[in-house]
Each structure stands twice: as structure tokens, then as C-alpha cells.
Structure 1
Amino acid sequence: MPHRENRPRRRPSLSMPILRTSRAQHRAGNLTLGNLLAGLGERSFGWAIVVFSLVTMLPLPPGSSVITALPVLVTTLQMTFGFAHVRLPGPLARLRVDQNRLRRTLLRLRPVTRRLERRLRPRLPALFAPRHEPLLGLGLLVIAFTLFLPVPGSGWFPAISLFVVGVGLVERDGAVVVLGLVLGALSALLTAAIVISLAEGAEAIMG
């Protein structure tokens, strides 16, 4: 009998869970944004944070973060209260998803996700214990709130930190989650500094 070399198992792709879930729901005829996130289960928070933080990084008119940050606030608030998965508001949850377009989009992202997959691995599992989830959600809620504030020049930083945390949640990489939280804390401090500077400038002008 030929000897089989013991090779390390290849890690699943970042996009594999969402592809499998969307394919199954497409066949069942119930592929909507709400069902897709619900079908991802405990990882729906990570996926939702990744998607919604990317939306806030799009080149949109000034002040748009007040609107684009709302789904992030809803997601992190639900995480704080211990929801099993993301529950989107009715109209957004019922939004139909084109499975073919979704698949093509994920395939276009493969050059980026491949680089991430080489570095991501499950670490610090205690961070993902159910008892820690509300505290983690609260930290993300604070970061999302800084993203929600219409402060000029500050939106990118909390959005990037939320994206990093979302990827860490999807891959159960606690080290990446901690990195994202540290970046988020720095972005909150930066936002506070900008707000204080603007307030002092306004006071000087009016004085």
C-alpha cells in the first residue's frame, strides 16, 4: 500500500462560508440579505461588520457616514445585547441578493483574500467565549459611534479598524481582533482630538 504523505490541511477560503450559504439559499429560492446573514450564524457579525465598514470607505459625499454608519451601529448594538446573529431592519433584510453577482464579486476579491488567508489563523480562542461577546460588542459600538459622527477627516480610521476586527471575527483570529480594537481606540482618540480642536477654533472665532 503506497505511503501517503501527511500534508497539512488547507485552510478554508475566507469566502467559502458565504458562498456555501448563498448557494443553498439560492437553490431554495430564499436568498435575501437578512437570510444570508442569519444563515452565517455566529459569523454573521463578522461578515456584516466587514461589508458595512467597506461601504463607509467608498468615495461618498461629505457627511454620508451619518447614513452608512447606521448598519454598523445596529450590528454592534445587537452584538452587545447578545443576539445570536445579525437581524437587519425589514426592508434591508428582505433585499434580494443575486447569487451570480455575489459569486463574481467574491472571485474578484480573491487576490486580496488570498494574502489575508496566508496570515490569518485561529488564535486567542478565549476572546470569542460567549461571556466576552457583549464587552467586545460594546467596544465595537464605541468605534462605530466615532464613525457615525460627521467629523471631517476622521471616518477612514474607525472604518479600517472595524474592517480589521470583522475579518478577525470571521476567521476567529483573536490577535487580529485585538489589533483592530487597538486601531479603533486610536481612531476614537483622533476623533476626540479633532472635535476638541474644532470646538476651540469655533470658540476663538466667536470670542
Structure 2
Amino acid sequence: MLGLELVVVLGVAVLVGNVVGQRLGIAPPVVLLVTGVLLGFIPAVREAQLPPEVVLLLFLPVLLYWESLTTSLREIRTNLRGILQLSTALVILTAWAVAATGHALGLPWGPAWVLGAAMALTDATAVGVLARALPRRQVTILRAESLINDGTALVVYGLAVGITVGGEHLSMPHVGGLFLLAYGGGALVGVAAAWVNLTCGAA
């Protein structure tokens, strides 16, 4: 199955899953999970490979953009300290906990940290599903944290992979520079994108 065909199939599956979830009163991610499992039994879909760039450049930006539109900037400013703590310290702590568990089960530390970095993120869309069951302040904190925790996880993931293959060395200036690049670069790109959007909208 070609990449474009696979994207179309996944798009249709997402739309159908959301409609079915709303009709049955079931959280859409649960329906989508079951739909994904069922699609896996189709040989053409099971053998297809979706390039990681498609997920990174097509699906993920749309999800994060929508969540950013539904999150209050004023509430983010009010809870900024907690959001930053969750998106940095808690992500690292979660990655360490998963890595320690993996190492205890027999994984070397390098691959264990790679697994920990991959598992430490809070999914923005999953937080949206829980919005009705949590107080507004907690939902805001979790949504905002899920939007910016990728920087921390990517740094941890990159360091883990680099150390595992032997091409990376830990040092405070190096790690600090990576965090500055991840968050500072992301902020600059966001400001530039917002400026372009406002400029084009005004024109």
C-alpha cells in the first residue's frame, strides 16, 4: 500500500472512529485503539510502512495545534511554574523510572533510557479526553505540559541514543545547550509562525 493510500485509510478510520465513539458514548481514543487493532488484521495494512516523517510533519502538528487553540493562555501563565516542573523534572523522573524498571528486567542502561524517554510523554489528545473528569485547573496544567514536554523527552532520547551508540558524552554545558536549543528554538519557531500567520491574516 502506498504512503498516500495509507494516510487516506488512516484518516477515514479516525473520522469513523470519532463518529462511532460519540454515538456510543465511548472515548474516541478507545475506539481508535480498537480500530487500529482491527486494521492490523488486513494484510495490505499490516505490511505497509508509514515513514516517521509523515507522523512528525502531518499528524502531530495538527493534534498539537488544535490542543493549543483550546488551552487558555491566561491560565497557562497562572500555572506556569507547575507546568514547567511537570514538563521537565517529571518527564525526566518518569523516564528514569521506566529505564530502571527495564534495566531490572534485563535491558542494558542505554536501551532502557531510550525506552524511558519514549514512554515518559503525556499525550495531548489523551488529556483532552479526560477533560470532563478533572477540575479545570488540572486539565489546563496537563494540556499545557503535554504541549511542551516533547523538548525534554527529545533531549533525553537523543542523549540515550547517542550514549548507546557511543557518540555522545554527558556534560552539564552540553545537556544545558540541548535543552536551550529544544525550548528556545521551539519558542522562536512558534513566534515566527505566529507572526507569519498574523501578517498573512492582516493582508
Give yes or no for TM over 0.5.
no
Q: If the length of structure 1 is used for normalisation, what is the TM-score?
A: 0.29
Structure with higher RCO (Cα < 8 A, 6+ apart): 1
Name the one with the larger helix percent: 2
Relative to the length of structure 2, the TM-score reads: 0.29
